[in-house]
Structure formats: structure tokens, C-alpha cells
Amino acid sequence: MNQQHQDERTRIREAMDRLLTGQATTSNGSLTVVALAAEADVHRMALMKRHADLRNEFYERVRNETQQMPETEKRLRETVTKLKKTVANQKIELEDLRQRVTNLTLAGAVLSQRAEPSTGSRGNVVPLRPPTT
């Protein structure tokens, strides 16, 4: 590792300690990667790509030391909950629509039976005559 890379890692670890103790100096103090990058004065993508192990370490420390879920995990859990509700509602709606299709099919069959002449009487049905040539 070169010196710049090592300096970044040192700044990130120091920023972790400040965020976890609630003593943020340059960020908003939230327990997110964005705040960690701002606190460590490194680009967020550098933290996500070059220092992914430190990002994971940060999330692990957030879970263990603060007994909290990281913000990203909270948002994902909320999204999963919303999606599960949406899927359940769609299943109910789909079952309702299937029942309606069945009812409409039966109603169509009943109506078409009523429209057909029953015994030999044609009612108001007029047969088509073959064309004369």
C-alpha cells in the first residue's frame, strides 16, 4: 500500500470512532457511509470501492456498539415490508378479478342461452336468404 492509501484508511478509522461516539466534526453525525466519507474527508466512492472492508467494518461496529441497524438496512427493511404488503394486496385483487371473470363467463353463457330460440319458433330471428344470381 502506498502512503496516501494508508493515510485514507487511518482517517476512515478515526472518523468511525468519532461517529460512533457521537463526536462528529465535519459531517451530520448520522451512521451512514456518506457521513463516514464526509467525516474522513475521502470521496464516498473511494470508501465504497477501495475501502470496502472498512465500510463493512463500520456497519458491523454500528450494529454491535450502538445496537442499531445501519440506515441503509433500515430503508431496505422498510422497502421489503412495503413490497410484501403490495404483493399481498395484488394477490387479493387477482383472486377477485378471477372470480369476476368466472361470474361474467357464466352470465354470458346464461344470456346467450336465453337469446337462442328454444323450440322451433324463431321469434325475431330472420334467416338470411342466399344471394340470387
Q: Are 58 and 21 found together in one domain?
A: yes
Q: Is residue 82 part of a domain?
A: yes
Condensed to tens digits (0 to 9), the pLDDT of residues 36-51 reads 999 999 998 988 888 9
pLDDT tens-digit profile of 95-128?
Answer: 999 999 999 999 988 888 876 655 555 567 666 7
126 assigned to some structural domain: no
Whether residue 75 sits in one domain with residue 45: no
Do 82 and 58 share a structural domain? no
Which pLDDT does position 119 carry in this prediction? Answer: 52
Nearby residues of 35 by Cβ (< 8 Å), 6 or more positions away: 19, 24, 27, 28, 29
Domain that holds residue 37: 3-68
Question: In this structure, are 39 and 93 located in the same domain?
Answer: no
The residue-averaged pLDDT of 66-87 equals 87
Residues 57 and 75 placed together within one structural domain of the fold: no
Domain count, the chain: 2
What is the distance between the alpha carbons of residues 28 and 34, in angstroms, rounded to a whole number? Answer: 10
Give domain status of residue 25, yes or no.
yes
Q: What is the pTM of this model?
A: 0.52
Give the integer Cα–Cα distance in Å for 6 and 48. 16
Closest among 17, 26, 24 to 66, alpha carbons compared: 17
**CA-CA distance, 88 to 77, in Å (whole number)?**
17
